[in-house]
Amino acid sequence: MMTLPEFTLHRPSSVTEALDKARELIAAGHEFDYISGGTDLLMNYKNRVNCKAHLISLKGVQELTRLKEDSMGAGVTLHQLEKWKHTPQVMLDALHNLASPLIRETGTLGGNLMVDTRCFFLNQSAFWRKSLGYCLKAEGDFCHVVPQKEICYATYSSDMGPGLMVLGAKIRLEGPNGTRDIPLTEFYVDEGRDRFQRNAGEILTQVNLPKDAREWTSGYRKLRLRDTLDFPAMGVAVAVKQAKDNSISDLRIAICGVSMAPLYLVDVAKEFLGEQPTSEVLDKLAEATMNATQPKKNLVVPTRYRKKMVRVYTRRLLSDLLGEESVATLRI
């Protein structure tokens, strides 16, 4: 039976109260986590993965649940975003393929953007991990994926991140030392333990979309073992604009499930600006996207298959977005 460890739960009713509690705990030398939906965090706690003695619940902070046309509170549930009339298509694609209806009722936008990295050697019971000597991310001193390096290679597994990246989203972080807005593309780091560019005590409070977010033709496709519940073994988000002559005038591509942070493929996209979206061009674009990835042996789905599916899923998504009639001839 999986039970939760003991911890002290704090329930502020505002961001200000939450930050005051964070300052107090930091000053006292206590470690803590913020929690809202808790759909992933509490599972990790039950597995005794990086548990903290204090949890600050953001569930009762109403200001985090506001929805405006170009602004989404981090505490908005994934189900609410599914039903929101302003949700861009790339986000809807991700939401329809994310977890299960019950989890989407509870899980939040901010929680999914900050979901913990995942690895076959990490997401196991405490007894399983102990039998293998633990790992660099939790209790151990080396990474089973790449033992030669002092880096955690756990995989970034948010479905919402890639889609918001290709839309040009910015996030707001409020902390004990002030408020800052940064592009989502600058939030993540290539280290499975650190994960974010986040200062001590900061709360992700808001996600802001640029004015042209809904002018992009966008979509998301996801590889997973089952059609529900599973985190992405690989996911690809694309946003594209076309000129009057049908050529690709702007293009953004982001990949999840293949690295410690989402991959935002600026250089790959630049190579195809101005091109007509012919079958040959789309084949080359999908191939270039695949070549920019290097998944590691840290998930159940085999590494070579995940890499190959980057090309396949990217090609299919491009065909859907750019109106190509058929992809039946695509060679897997």
pTM comes to: 0.95
Helices marked H in 2-122: 15-27, 41-46, 78-83, 89-96, 101-106, 109-113
Give me the mean pLDDT over the 304-330 stretch: 84
- Report d(CA 258, CA 240) in Å as an integer: 22
Tell me: the pLDDT tens digits for 54-92? 999 999 999 999 999 999 999 999 999 999 999 999 999
How much is the pLDDT for 227? 87
332 pLDDT more than 80: no
Above 80 in pLDDT, residue 329? no
Classify domain 62-208 at the CATH class level. alpha beta
Read out DSSP for 198-266?
A: --TT-EEEEEE--TTGGGSEEEEEEE-SSSSSPPPSEEEEEEEEE-TTS-EEEEEEEEESSSSS-EE-H
Q: How does pLDDT run across 82-100, given as a tens digit for each residue? A: 999 999 999 999 999 999 9
Instruction: Please state which CATH number belongs to domain 213-322.
Output: 3.30.390.50
Sign of CA dihedral 226, 231, 233, 238: positive
Residue ranges of the domains in the chain?
Answer: 62-208, 213-322
Give pLDDT, residue 330: 47
DSSP structure class, residue 325: S
Residue 228: pLDDT band by 50, 70, 90 thresholds?
confident
Q: Are 327 and 316 in contact (CB under 8 A)?
A: yes
> What is the distance, to the nearest Å, from the Cα of residue 154 to the centroid of all Cα atoms in its chain?
13
| Mean pLDDT score across all residues of the chain | 96
For the ranges 1-10, 18-27, 157-166, the lowest mean pLDDT is seen at 1-10
If one counts every other C-beta atom within 10 angstroms of the C-beta of residue 191, the result is 16
Provide the residue count of the chain. 332
